[in-house]
Amino acid sequence: MDKREYADAHGEKIGADVKNVITGRRERITVKRSIGALCWKILAILAILWALFSAAFGIGAVSGEGMYPRLRDGDLAVYYRLERERNVGDVVAYRTDGQLRYGRIVAMSGDTVDMDEDGQLLVNGSVQQEEIFFPTRKEGRAAALPVTLGEGEVFVLGDNREYAKDSRDFGPISNAQIKGKVISLLRSRGI
């Protein structure tokens, strides 16, 4: 083999090695860029989720059995903050005494709320037909009943009327105290 043949044979090998090194570097750069782009996309998704949950939605843990059987201790309630129209029967998250609580709206502005001796809820003098398993009593509660609700006030009760801390204890709540309408529930254990 003469020098020229030797140089051509080894030159091709060296050229192929250089080409492989360059190709490998390009592939590594491409992988690094792809990982960087993926990280930015994940950060963008997290920022959007944070914005949604700080402005439009809220999530809170249920504490106690005041809304049993619908909400249980330890469940996570997802509530919608932007809903401003409230209706009787809505389950809402509200803040009172520095604590996030959950309750069902049973009366609105202008309504008069009372309870009779049989444990029935009276709104404007009429017995309310509810799917509640527990009697509604006012004995031993701090709020004076009957009460007529002012402008921008609602009366909330827990579904587990015997154990719930609600408007019978702290009176009507204002719409400003309502954080949102409960739209979903994430059970912490089996149903």
pTM confidence score: 0.72
| pLDDT of 123 | 95
- Which candidate, 87, 86, 93, places its Cα nearest to that of 57? 93
User: pLDDT tens, position by position, for the chain (191 residues)?
Assistant: 555 555 455 555 555 555 555 565 666 677 778 888 899 999 999 998 888 777 888 889 999 889 988 899 989 999 999 888 899 999 999 999 889 999 999 999 999 999 988 888 999 999 888 887 788 888 888 888 899 999 999 999 999 988 899 999 999 999 999 999 999 998 876 55
| pLDDT of 42 | 93
For 131, the enclosing helix (H) or strand (E) is none
| pLDDT of 62 | 93
| pLDDT of 190 | 55
| pLDDT of 21 | 55
Residue 105 to residue 12: CA distance in whole angstroms: 83
Residue 166 to residue 46: CA distance in whole angstroms: 36
